[in-house]
């Protein structure tokens, strides 16, 4: 079950909210956990047991670590290492086993060893990348004495299993959520604000992301080897808009539902396409993921405090892991390393020049980011190379026969969506919405967005959240 479905909007959410509001405040965490497990089990089946096992094991580990730190710090360290192996072990098994097997088989074939390791054909549990990072951040903070272990399964379960952010974030820390787990207020103002945020996120997903996904899918069906250069660039921008409004829309819906429940979840996006550098882009895109890597990998490795070469090493580690976190495929590794190179170039060579310009730095990002998304989107390296020869025809000496009118057909079909995508990537709509939020016009606009979103959900055939596969 996902947020942008009729079943969630008109079955699960109303029933759950009614039960949640009718529950006395002191018992609402119980209702929240039960509802969250029902929500997760609908889409994940028996993998719900893995989520519960994660809750039980990490609760026990955190108390062992907390109890041993003062008098037996070495034993506490052993429990902490065991916890990291346990949590990341499940993630590695489900997410990277097939990737490892494929590459081992390729290596054996390359050295002419007649052995083929059978594929595991494992199905990755929904949201495991997100809830693994969430629970490991809890264990790390307990070990570093930033927080005390949760007092009960109920407290830790509320933090880990809360369904608005369970399967695609935002990735929260126990320290920022603990006060809200213990005490929060639910009132009409929060419900109203949550509904507004949810509807805006729903509109971003169904009215912008999904149609852009249709344009990208059409291009993929045609085949990269027979598209014009203009259509290739249009496709790159289409995917850029799809992934942005898809994931930012989900995050808005998660934050909106959280508000309805009395929680303030952290912001996950801040208009990344208005950035003036790759560095700034990643401060604005998937903010909570960047925070996790900064706090748990970059800073523990030394950050930028130990000289240029160690800073280079630490940044390389962060981006190699960022790429692998997104997917078990070499294109994701390449995508992460491209950002590593870009950020290092900005930091050491041309970053100061970008900062002095007002137009060039935005042109740089508008041109650059769609190219990086193509590396992200196309997992087959041969197909990726083909796509880049369409983007840059001078990269290939082959004569390409393409329908040069393909881009005109696509623009005719999608210009009414492309223009809002460009507009809503800028600060203007948000500025005016905040200014006139309480006006009758904005209320009517929200109602129209909701109705159009419902209509889109009933007619669209392509409605998955892209980040569910990561």
Query: Which residues does the annotation mark as catalytic?
Result: 326
Q: Is 467:246 a contact under the CB 8 Å cutoff?
A: yes
Residue 39: closest CA among 21, 14, 13: 13
Q: How far apart are CA 353 and CA 364, in angstroms?
A: 12
Q: How far apart are CA 49 and CA 53, in angstroms?
A: 6
Q: How far apart are CA 379 and CA 193, in angstroms?
A: 39
Number of neighbours of residue 126 by Cβ within 10 angstroms: 23
Q: How far apart are CA 93 and CA 81, in angstroms?
A: 18
Whether the link from the prior residue into 170 is cis, omega within 30° of 0, is yes
Q: How far apart are CA 220 and CA 212, in angstroms?
A: 13
Contacts of 412 by beta carbon, 8 Å cutoff, 6+ apart: none
Quote the tokens at residue 448.
């129209």
Q: How far apart are CA 385 and CA 351, in angstroms?
A: 28
End-to-end CA distance of the chain: 17
């Amino acid at each position: 079950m996902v947020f942008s479905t009729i079943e969630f909007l008109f079955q699960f959410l109303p029933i759950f909210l009614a039960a949640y509001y009718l529950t006395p405040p002191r018992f609402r965490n119980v209702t929240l956990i039960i509802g969250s497990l029902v929500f997760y089990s609908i889409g994940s089946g028996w993998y719900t047991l893995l989520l519960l096992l994660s809750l039980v094991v990490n609760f026990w580990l955190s108390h062992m670590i907390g109890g041993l730190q003062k008098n037996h710090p070495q034993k506490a360290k052993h429990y902490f290492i065991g916890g990291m192996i346990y949590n990341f072990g499940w993630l590695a098994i489900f997410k990277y086993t097939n990737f490892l097997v494929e590459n081992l088989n390729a290596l054996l074939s390359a050295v002419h060893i007649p052995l083929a390791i059978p594929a595991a054909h494992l199905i990755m549990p929904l949201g495991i990348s997100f809830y693994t990072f969430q629970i490991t951040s809890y264990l790390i903070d307990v070990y570093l004495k930033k927080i005390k272990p949760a007092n009960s399964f109920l407290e830790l379960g509320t933090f880990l299993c809360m369904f608005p952010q369970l399967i695609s974030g935002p990735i929260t820390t126990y320290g920022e959520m603990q006060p809200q787990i213990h005490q929060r207020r639910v009132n009409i103002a929060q419900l109203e604000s949550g509904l507004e945020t949810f509807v805006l996120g729903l509109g971003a997903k169904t009215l912008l992301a999904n149609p852009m996904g249709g344009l990208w899918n059409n291009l993929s069906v045609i085949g990269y080897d027979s598209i014009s250069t203009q259509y290739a660039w249009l496709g790159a921008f289409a995917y850029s808009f799809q992934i942005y409004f898809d994931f930012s829309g989900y995050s808005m819906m998660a934050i909106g539902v959280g508000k309805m429940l009395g929680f303030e979840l952290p912001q996950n996006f801040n208009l990344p396409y208005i950035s003036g550098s790759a560095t700034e882009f990643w401060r604005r895109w998937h903010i909570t993921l960047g925070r996790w890597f900064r706090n748990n990998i970059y800073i523990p490795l030394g950050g930028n405090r130990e000289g240029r070469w160690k800073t280079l090493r630490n940044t390389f580690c962060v981006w190699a892991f960022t790429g692998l976190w997104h997917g078990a495929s070499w294109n994701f590794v390449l995508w992460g390393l491209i950002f590593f190179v870009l950020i290092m170039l900005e930091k050491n060579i041309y970053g100061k020049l970008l900062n002095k310009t007002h137009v060039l730095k935005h042109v740089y990002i508008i041109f650059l980011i769609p190219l990086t998304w193509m590396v992200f989107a196309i997992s087959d390296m041969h197909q990726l190379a083909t796509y880049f020869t369409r983007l840059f025809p001078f990269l290939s000496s082959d004569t390409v026969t393409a329908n040069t009118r393909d881009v005109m057909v696509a623009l005719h079909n999608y210009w009414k969506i492309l223009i809002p995508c460009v507009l809503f990537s800028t600060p203007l709509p948000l500025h005016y919405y905040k200014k006139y939020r309480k006006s009758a016009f904005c209320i009517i606009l929200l109602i129209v967005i909701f109705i159009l979103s419902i209509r889109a959900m009933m007619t669209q055939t392509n409605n998955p959240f892209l980040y569910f596969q990561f």
